[in-house]
Amino acid sequence: MLLLYIKNTPQLLLKDLDKNQLILREIGINALEMSISAVKPENLMEKSIKIHNNKLYIENDEYDLDKFKKIYIIGGGKATAEMALSLERFLINFKEIEYEGIINIPKDKEKQEFFEKSKISINFASHPIPNEDGLKGTKSMIKIIQKSNKDDLLFCLISGGGSALLPLPKHSIDLQDLKEVNSLLLSSGASIHEINTIRKHLSDFKGGNLAKNLYNEGGATLISLIISDVVGDNLDSIASGPTVPDESTFKDAIEILKKYNLLDIIPNTVKEYIEKGLLDQKLENPKPGDPCFTNVHNYLIGSVSSAVHVINPFLKNKGFKVNYFSNNITGEAKDFGKSLLTIILQYLEDNSEKNKLEKIALIGTGELTVTIKGNGTGGRNQEMLLSYLNYVKDRKFNYNFLIMSANLDGIEGNSKAMGALVDNYTLNQIISENIDTKKFLVNNDSNSFFKELRTEIITGPTGCNVNDLILILISR
């Protein structure tokens, strides 16, 4: 058994589990360990990049490093620290070219120690609301862009969280106004795509503007390495797309603000700039076909699908028929928890009876949301699983099941857990111990519930930053 990231595995593998339940938990824990490893930024980098005989290989592309005089590294995001350290391990072995850089990441003392001997400066910034430190770091990146030229190679390392960590508001908008807009958007119920549409139109860095700045200054070659944390993996949504064309418009931004009743309460500087953008096409972000992207190369090096690709053959080897039932799980966690039984029963009806399948694995990925009304401790995956249990607690099952749901980042909500697991044993606990599931659910207190059942999953921060993973194992 793998024992790498999950710290409370012995607690999850109880001695009084029956054989079938124990096996399902062991398989589920192994699959989760493999999932985390698959999306670790350093592993994604090592899988995607090779340097051999002064040539850089990314996917099917080749870059002759002898053509470049200097290499610069910039970027930001929750996973960008590990990305930068991994890239530096490649560059240290290629001594012919000097390199330097700066990245913006959330504050983490452990990462700071890793960078003590690095040529890449680490700048701690704020997330999810931008701050002065983030602005200072982003301005330093602009200075790097300004001193680069066509003989240089620029790496931009992008991961989730970059939208907040890389602030550079338009000249007529100050940081305080930008912070206020971010706060309003985050509490409005708008989707991440909608929020980033606004962010892109208020930034001189995001929405393809990094590429535009580089093109206007010196035309260095730009390689952007991207890890996705958004459903659908749209590059223009990840960190608000600094290096990719922006297909959204000022008109879209206005409509989103109207949709969520924000147009009349956002700061005047923001409203005035967006209204000005409606009238002046020159203020639009660069679109597909813009010449500023001529020498820009974007690579999606990882997402939650990287985890699915790894655990799929593992589960098949364990005798399961595997179905990746959705890569687009969104919506309210409580609602999805109630719908999960229908998904399982439908799949059993459509497949199991016809083919007499004994072992089935269902995989789902995405990111749910929680509308907070209580004052408990929890997170979206734990709330979803608690909602499922609350819905099925009086139901009798004629098969063994295990459901694990986790944020592969390692921490979710205001809890210290990445998620939790539920199975037949936890259902029996609820009944035998007379646990009031609804009370925990109403108070958004899912973590306290799973602490009581001893089925929360604890890893601590993993350094990963992708969508969440739901794994359902059924044994008949």
- Secondary structure of residue 27 in the 3-state scheme: helix
The answer to the question of residue 184 being in a domain is no
CA dist 160 and 168 (Å) reads 17
The answer to the question of residue 188 being in a domain is no
Terminal C-alpha separation, the chain: 23
The CATH number covering residue 465 comes to: 3.40.1480.10
- Tell whether 33 and 86 lie within a shared domain: no
- Tell whether 244 and 342 lie within a shared domain: no
- Tell whether 119 and 236 lie within a shared domain: yes
The answer to the question of residue 402 being in a domain is yes
- Identify residue 179 by its one-letter amino acid code: K
The answer to the question of residue 265 being in a domain is no
The number of distinct structural domains making up the chain is 2
The answer to the question of residue 1 being in a domain is no
Contacts of 124 (CB under 8 A, 6+ apart): 104, 105, 106, 107, 108, 112, 133
- Tell whether 295 and 400 lie within a shared domain: no
- Tell whether 232 and 84 lie within a shared domain: yes
Residues of the domain holding 147 = 41-168+203-248+285-302
CA dist 85 and 41 (Å) reads 10
Question: Domain boundary at 269, 302, 335, which?
Answer: 302
- Tell whether 53 and 139 lie within a shared domain: yes
- Range list of H helices, 318-374: 333-347, 353-355
Q: How many helices (H) and strands (E) does the chain have?
A: 19, 15
pTM for this prediction: 0.91
* Mean pLDDT (10-residue bins), the chain, 476 residues: 81 93 97 97 95 91 94 96 92 84 82 72 92 97 96 96 95 96 88 92 97 94 96 93 97 97 96 96 96 97 97 97 94 95 89 70 94 92 98 93 96 95 96 96 97 97 93 94
User: What pLDDT, on a 0 to 100 scale, did the predictor assign at position 354?
Assistant: 57
- Tell whether 322 and 447 lie within a shared domain: yes
The CATH number covering residue 208 comes to: 3.40.50.10180
The answer to the question of residue 96 being in a domain is yes
- Quick check: 475 and 24 in contact, CB under 8 A? yes
- Tell whether 362 and 460 lie within a shared domain: yes
- Quick check: 70 and 152 in contact, CB under 8 A? yes
The answer to the question of residue 359 being in a domain is yes
The answer to the question of residue 435 being in a domain is yes
- Tell whether 120 and 66 lie within a shared domain: yes
- Tell whether 54 and 35 lie within a shared domain: no
- Tell whether 346 and 369 lie within a shared domain: yes
User: What pLDDT, on a 0 to 100 scale, did the predictor assign at position 211?
Assistant: 97
- Quick check: 365 and 326 in contact, CB under 8 A? yes
- Tell whether 295 and 309 lie within a shared domain: no
